[in-house]
C-alpha cells in the first residue's frame, strides 16, 4: 500500500473512508455507507464488500459500525447510558448470537500504559457467567449466555504473542464467538475517546496501539471474532502531517500555497523524520485526562457488551438466580 504511505494511520473505517473520499472525490464501488444521527450520537455503518474496495480503503472486507459522541469527553452519566444502549443495539445487528452460546471476551493491550489499557479495563467490567451456568436453575438458563473473559497481556510482559494465548484458550474453551476489545489509533484528535467501533472482521496485524504482529480473525481462530475498539491516541506523525496539510489547504495561507502544493511525498517523509526521530520508538498523542476518559468509555464498552449478551438479566442480582 505504498501509495497511501503519507495517509495518517487510522484504525477506524469511517476515517479511512473520509480520506478516500477526499482523494478520489467520488463514491467508491463496494463501499456502502449509512449514517444515523441525533443531537448527541452519530452512528455510521460502513460495509466493504469487494477486493477493490478493500484495497482502496486499506481495510478488510466486512462491516464496521462507529458510534460517536463528542460529549463523551466530559463526565455525563446520561450520555454514557445512551451510548451504551447504542453499542448493545449495534452489536446485536452485526452478529446473530444463538441463545446458548459460549462467548470469550479478550481485553487486548498493556494494562500498565494508560492509553493502551482500554481492553483490560473493560474486561474487568464484563459480567462473567460461564462458571455459574451449572448453578443456575434450569428454567432460567435460557436467559444467560456463558461468558468468560481474559486480558492476556502483551508480548513484552508474557514473552508470548497475544494470538498464541488466545488461540490456546479458544481450542480449550471452544467458544462460539470471540469479542476482542482494543485501544485504537485515530487519524483525527476529535475522535479520541469519543468513538466506539464495532467490526465483524476481527483484529488485524498492525492495528491497535501496540501494532499487533498477528491477527485475531475467524480465519486464524476458527470462530467469528467481533472487534470492539475505541481510539485513545493519534500517532505523533499525524500531528506533523496535519500541520503540513493545514499549511497547504487553508486559505489564510494561500500566500505560501503555490510552492507548498508541490511538496513531494518523499519530502514530507523527510520533514516528519526530522521532527520525529525514531529513537524513542513510536510516539503517541493522547489527552492529559486520558485516565478518566478511558474509564468512562470502558464503562460504555463493557456495559454495551453486557447488555447485548444477557438481554434478560439484571446483572448485579445475578446471584438470585443461583440455587
Which residues inside 210-269 make contact with a copy of itself, applying CB under 8 A?
Answer: 210, 236, 239-240, 242-244, 246-247, 250, 252-253, 255-256, 258-260, 263, 267
Among the listed ranges 2-10, 45-53, 136-144, 159-167, the one in contact with a copy of itself (CB under 8 A) is: 159-167
Window 62 to 121, contacts with a copy of itself (CB under 8 A): 70, 73-78, 110, 112-114, 116
Determine, following the binding rule CB under 8 A, whether residue 6 of this chain makes contact with a copy of itself.
Answer: no
Specify the length of the chain in residues: 323
Determine, following the binding rule CB under 8 A, whether residue 150 of this chain makes contact with a copy of itself.
Answer: yes
Of 2, 277, 312, 323, the one binding a copy of itself (CB under 8 A) is 277
Number of Cβ within 10 Å of residue 16's Cβ equals 23
Determine, following the binding rule CB under 8 A, whether residue 167 of this chain makes contact with a copy of itself.
Answer: yes
Provide DSSP, 201-215. T-B-TT-TTTT-SS-
Of 173, 176, 223, 269, the one binding a copy of itself (CB under 8 A) is 173
User: DSSP secondary-structure letter at 113?
Assistant: S
**Closest residue by Cα to residue 83 from 248, 265, 307, 317:** 307
By beta-carbon proximity to a copy of itself, the closer residue of 129 and 200 is 129
Residue 187 and residue 184: Cα distance in Å, rounded? 10
Among the listed ranges 23-31, 50-58, 153-161, 196-204, the one in contact with a copy of itself (CB under 8 A) is: 153-161
Residue 259 dihedral angles phi and psi, to the nearest 5°: -70, -30
Residue 109 and residue 262: Cα distance in Å, rounded? 39
Q: Please state whether beta strands 102-107 and 146-150 pair in parallel, antiparallel, or not at all (unpaired).
A: parallel
Residue 42 and residue 106: Cα distance in Å, rounded? 26
Determine, following the binding rule CB under 8 A, whether residue 128 of this chain makes contact with a copy of itself.
Answer: yes
Of 100, 158, 206, 311, the one binding a copy of itself (CB under 8 A) is 158
Determine, following the binding rule CB under 8 A, whether residue 270 of this chain makes contact with a copy of itself.
Answer: yes
Amino acid at each position: 500500500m505504498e501509495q497511501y504511505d503519507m495517509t495518517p494511520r487510522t484504525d477506524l473505517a469511517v476515517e479511512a473512508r473520509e480520506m478516500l473520499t477526499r482523494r478520489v472525490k467520488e463514491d467508491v464501488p463496494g463501499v456502502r455507507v449509512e449514517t444515523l444521527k441525533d443531537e448527541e450520537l452519530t452512528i455510521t455503518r460502513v460495509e466493504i464488500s469487494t477486493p477493490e474496495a478493500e484495497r482502496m480503503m486499506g481495510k478488510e472486507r466486512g462491516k464496521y459500525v462507529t458510534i460517536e459522541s463528542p460529549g463523551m469527553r466530559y463526565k455525563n452519566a446520561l450520555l454514557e447510558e445512551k451510548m451504551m444502549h447504542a453499542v448493545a443495539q449495534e452489536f446485536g445487528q452485526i452478529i446473530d448470537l444463538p441463545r446458548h452460546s459460549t462467548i470469550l471476551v479478550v481485553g487486548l493491550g498493556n494494562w500498565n500504559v494508560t492509553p493502551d489499557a482500554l481492553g483490560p479495563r473493560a474486561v474487568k467490567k464484563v459480567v462473567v457467567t460461564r462458571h455459574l451456568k451449572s448453578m443456575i436453575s434450569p428454567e432460567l438458563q435460557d436467559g444467560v449466555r456463558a461468558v468468560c473473559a481474559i486480558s492476556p497481556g502483551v508480548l513484552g510482559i508474557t514473552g508470548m504473542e497475544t494470538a498464541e494465548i488466545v488461540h490456546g484458550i479458544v481450542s480449550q474453551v471452544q467458544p462460539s464467538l470471540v469479542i476482542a476489545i482494543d485501544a485504537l489509533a485515530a487519524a483525527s484528535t476529535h475522535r479520541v475517546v469519543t468513538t466506539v467501533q464495532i467490526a465483524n472482521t476481527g483484529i488485524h496485524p498492525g492495528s491497535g496501539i501496540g501494532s499487533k504482529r498477528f491477527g485475531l480473525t475467524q480465519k486464524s481462530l476458527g470462530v467469528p471474532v467481533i472487534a470492539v475498539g475505541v481510539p485513545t491516541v493519534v500517532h505523533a506523525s499525524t500531528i506533523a502531517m496535519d500541520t503540513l496539510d493545514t499549511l497547504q489547504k487553508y486559505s489564510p495561507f494561500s500566500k505560501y500555497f503555490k510552492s507548498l502544493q508541490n511538496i513531494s511525498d518523499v519530502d514530507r517523509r523527510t520533514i516528519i523524520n526530522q521532527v520525529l526521530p525514531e529513537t524513542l520508538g513510536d510516539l503517541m498523542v493522547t489527552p492529559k485526562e486520558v485516565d478518566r476518559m478511558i474509564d468512562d468509555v470502558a464503562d460504555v464498552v463493557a456495559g454495551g457488551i453486557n447488555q447485548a449478551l444477557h438481554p434478560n438479566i439484571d446483572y448485579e442480582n445475578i446471584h438470585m438466580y443461583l440455587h
